[in-house]
Structure 1
Amino acid sequence: MRLVQLMVPTGARETILGVLDDEEVDYAVTDETSGREYTAVVYFPLPSQAVEPVLDSLQEAGIEDDAYTVVVDAETVIARKFDALQDRYENGDVEDDRISRQELRTEAEELTPSFPVYVVMTVISALVATAGLLLDSPAVVVGSMVIAPLIGPALGASIGTVIDEPELLIDGAKYQALGVVLAIGSAAAMAWFVRVTHVVPPGMDIAEVGEISERLAPDLLSLVIALGAGVAGVLSVSTGVSVALVGVMIAAALIPPAAAAGISLAFGHPGAALGSTVLVFVNVLSVNLAGLVTLWYTGYRPESLFAVEPTQKRVRREIAGLALIVLVFSAFLGGITYSSFQTGSFEQDARDEVELALDEEYEELQLIELEVSLGDDYPFRDPQRVVVTVGGPPGESYPELADLLHERINSHADGSVAVEVRYVEVVEN
């Protein structure tokens, strides 16, 4: 529910009251004695879903922005006429729960901090994420998402497009592009510094760090995070629900991959940075795509009726363009996903072959461990070496085992894979 306070310009009193009477809205009028260009203040409660149509009706009647309108939350309204008004505007669809277009514009503006604050918070978030990734600490990585100021620009661009507010659109797009560059650049600078100052151990293999490695070869499931964040972000803003947690979700799709890309560049692995950078861009585009679709579906349109059709065409073009680009990037992620699937299948096939060989020809031996080492050709890593550890009775040797396992394992590989067999003596008492 909302309480609308409308300052009435000179000569507009009867027009405003006439519109409210036509809409069957209860109101109270107080005279304005400040001697300015306003003659009265009208107070009237409205259901949330009635704010936009009533304000639009006032504008159509000739009441422009100089009427000075303030919309505030109202906790409770007790009136039969208000209940009837609420019943009239409830349609039982998704539009019932959304805030007005006017409130949505304000929400979008308030979610985006000032430029200096945005720059500082983005850099700090990227630095914290970099530290968390290098420390392999999920808690620190989550902390970096909490302070990231990315939800405002991400949603502002979509909102500006749908309600035909070019300034919101341009600012949102610029802030998003700047945020990506700042995040990757800050992460790279910090990672380079800790590397050359030996804050991290010399020769550190970033592929062995769990929080980093999972972002160097992203798969198609990463799209779910970005698309879900875009939809949830728009719904949280458009329904007036707190956006704090949704902001963390959007940051989760952007900040850690950007930090991983910066770390990869600083450690001299441009191929590894490619996968993370693609993930960042596809997530940014997916958030915007999901936001556009959700906003249009929930019924938001430009203020001017003459702008509805051109805006609809523009939104459709942008949705089609974003969907096409996301599809192209998705093909890249799909390739990584398929490569990971092949690697997993190869490891399982290798394990099966080793167990079968031992069962058929070396019953006295048992498989203790099988490890597949991948190459450094990120993001499409192929198996390079298989280390098989077997256990058996002391004092025995099996010179032909390595050749047998090499032949069997390589029958499932696209290229040549080195096979190393380690023998561990097992004494049973």
Structure 2
Amino acid sequence: MLHLRLITPPDCTDDAVRLIENTVGTTHLVVLTGAARDPEGDVVTCDVAREAGDQLLSGLQELGLEKTGSIAVENIDLSLSRRADKAESDAPGEAADAVLWEHLVDATHEESTLSVTYVAFITLATMIAACGVVLDNAILIVGAMAVGPEFGPLAGICTAAVQRAPRLALRSLIALLVGFAAAMAITVGFSFFMDAVGLFTEEQLEADRPNTGFIYAPDWFSFVVAILAGAAGTLSLTSAKSGALVGVAISVTTVPAAANAAVALIYGDTNQTLRSSEQLLLNLLGIILAGTLTLLIQKWLWSRQQRNSAG
């Protein structure tokens, strides 16, 4: 269930209440006349089944409440109410299949912001991965994958493609490109330092690396795994099962590939640099294609389900 809190201008309150009452899957409607002070207006709250949430939010936006008032949405972790149970059973479809598009756009917008924190995380992840490739340590590689925040901008690109949001697409693309460029540049400097103090050596990089050699050996399996991970990651975002993102993060070799390319660059190994870059681009492409296709399928299936329910 979702909890909605609205601030509505007095002349829009009746329309908002009528919309809520006519939406199947809503309950616990409360109207507090004149309770809001900034902005001034009425406060309207209700609970709505997740599968009816997107339809209700779209209707409220058509009333212009996001401009003249406020629309706030929260997830309800526990609701002990027979009315809530009935609202969920009455709402068409399954909650796990419902996509709150406004929530997805907002979440990916935040995750795809080029901030100091984002650059710090992706840089630290790349430096950890650099240590992993030199030491041929799979644990460090997995750790670096989990730390990397690059799925946010990738999800933003997918969402922007489906929702036709060019500003979100540009924002996500800038975060992705600038983030990786900065991380690789700083990792090059980090690798020079580690080489100077004797912790990185060319012999370690060029030695047989059974645990991390796959990072600079792109093949069709790399693309297939990226496709599967992109689909799983997108589903985890749309179904609010964020725990699955950890599994997605450690399934693709984006950050390790960037790290391997940076380390190989300081030793003049153009073959590893190019192959690692190819691995990076292959994984990014696979995630974007799978994520976009997953969202398109979800949108089509949900629209079809809603039409069948209405019929």
TM-score bracket relative to the smaller structure: 0.7 to 0.9
Aligned to 1:318: none
State the alpha-carbon separation in 1 of the partners of residues 300 and 177 from structure 2.
25
Unaligned runs of 5+ in 1: 302-429
Superposed CA offset, 1:67-115 (max 9, x none): 30111111334555544432343336xx753341121122213334551
Aligned to 1:227: 227
Q: Give the TM-score normalised by the residue count of structure 2.
A: 0.86
State the alpha-carbon separation in 2 of the partners of residues 253 and 15 from structure 1.
51
Q: 1:16 to 1:139 in 2, by over 3 A?
A: same
State the alpha-carbon separation in 1 of the partners of residues 233 and 33 from structure 2.
41
2:49 equivalent among 44, 47, 50? 47
Q: CA RMSD in A?
A: 2.5
Superposed CA offset, 1:368-413 (max 9, x none): xxxxxxxxxxxxxxxxxxxxxxxxxxxxxxxxxxxxxxxxxxxxxx
Aligned to 2:111: 111
1:70 equivalent among 66, 72, 82? 72
State the alpha-carbon separation in 2 of the partners of residues 37 and 258 from structure 1.
48
Aligned to 2:58: 56
Aligned to 2:305: none
Q: 1:96 to 1:164 in 2, by over 3 A?
A: same
Aligned to 1:149: 149
SS in 1 for 2:77: coil
SS in 2 for 1:299: helix
State the alpha-carbon separation in 1 of the partners of residues 162 and 201 from structure 2.
50
Q: 1:247 to 1:150 in 2, by over 3 A?
A: farther
Q: Does structure 1 retain, via aligned residues, the 8 Å contact 2:226–2:286?
A: yes
Cα drift, residue 162 of structure 1: 1.5
- Opposite residue 150 of structure 1, the aligned amino acid is E
1:87 equivalent among 86, 89, 107? 89
SS in 2 for 1:157: helix
- Opposite residue 6 of structure 1, the aligned amino acid is L
Aligned to 2:34: 32
Q: Give the TM-score normalised by the residue count of structure 1.
A: 0.64
Q: Does structure 1 retain, via aligned residues, the 8 Å contact 2:233–2:248?
A: yes
State the alpha-carbon separation in 2 of the partners of residues 146 and 261 from structure 1.
19
Q: 1:10 to 1:179 in 2, by over 3 A?
A: same
State the alpha-carbon separation in 2 of the partners of residues 159 and 221 from structure 1.
25
State the alpha-carbon separation in 2 of the partners of residues 37 and 181 from structure 1.
43
Cα drift, residue 3 of structure 1: 0.7
State the alpha-carbon separation in 2 of the partners of residues 152 and 193 from structure 1.
30
Q: Does structure 2 retain, via aligned residues, the 8 Å contact 1:218–1:275?
A: yes
Superposed CA offset, 1:119-139 (max 9, x none): 111111111110111111111
- Opposite residue 45 of structure 1, the aligned amino acid is D
State the alpha-carbon separation in 1 of the partners of residues 97 and 177 from structure 2.
32
Question: Whose RCO is larger (CA < 8 A, sep 6+)?
Answer: 2
Aligned to 2:264: 264
Q: Does structure 2 retain, via aligned residues, the 8 Å contact 1:229–1:249?
A: no
Aligned to 1:245: 246
SS in 1 for 2:44: strand
SS in 2 for 1:298: helix
Aligned to 1:129: 129
Aligned to 1:406: none
SS in 2 for 1:295: helix
Q: Which has the larger radius of gyration?
A: 1
Q: State the identity %.
A: 22
- Opposite residue 289 of structure 1, the aligned amino acid is L
Aligned to 1:184: 184
Superposed CA offset, 1:312-340 (max 9, x none): xxxxxxxxxxxxxxxxxxxxxxxxxxxxx
Q: Does structure 1 retain, via aligned residues, the 8 Å contact 2:119–2:183?
A: no
State the alpha-carbon separation in 2 of the partners of residues 205 and 218 from structure 1.
17
SS in 2 for 1:31: strand
State the alpha-carbon separation in 1 of the partners of residues 114 and 180 from structure 2.
17
Q: Does structure 1 retain, via aligned residues, the 8 Å contact 2:51–2:92?
A: yes
State the alpha-carbon separation in 2 of the partners of residues 267 and 36 from structure 1.
61
Cα drift, residue 268 of structure 1: 1.5
SS in 1 for 2:299: coil
Q: 1:5 to 1:35 in 2, by over 3 A?
A: closer
State the alpha-carbon separation in 1 of the partners of residues 235 and 4 from structure 2.
23
Cα drift, residue 61 of structure 1: 4.5
List aligned pairs for 1:164-179, cutoff 5 A.
164-179=164-179
Aligned to 2:14: 14
Q: 1:161 to 1:279 in 2, by over 3 A?
A: same
State the alpha-carbon separation in 1 of the partners of residues 38 and 221 from structure 2.
59
Q: Does structure 2 retain, via aligned residues, the 8 Å contact 1:10–1:37?
A: no
Aligned to 2:278: 278
Unaligned runs of 5+ in 2: 302-311
Instruction: Looking at secondary structure, tell me which structure has more helix per residue.
Output: 2
Q: 1:202 to 1:133 in 2, by over 3 A?
A: closer
Deviates more, 1:3-12 or 1:97-106: 97-106
Q: Does structure 1 retain, via aligned residues, the 8 Å contact 2:113–2:171?
A: no
State the alpha-carbon separation in 1 of the partners of residues 181 and 84 from structure 2.
50
Cα drift, residue 263 of structure 1: 1.8
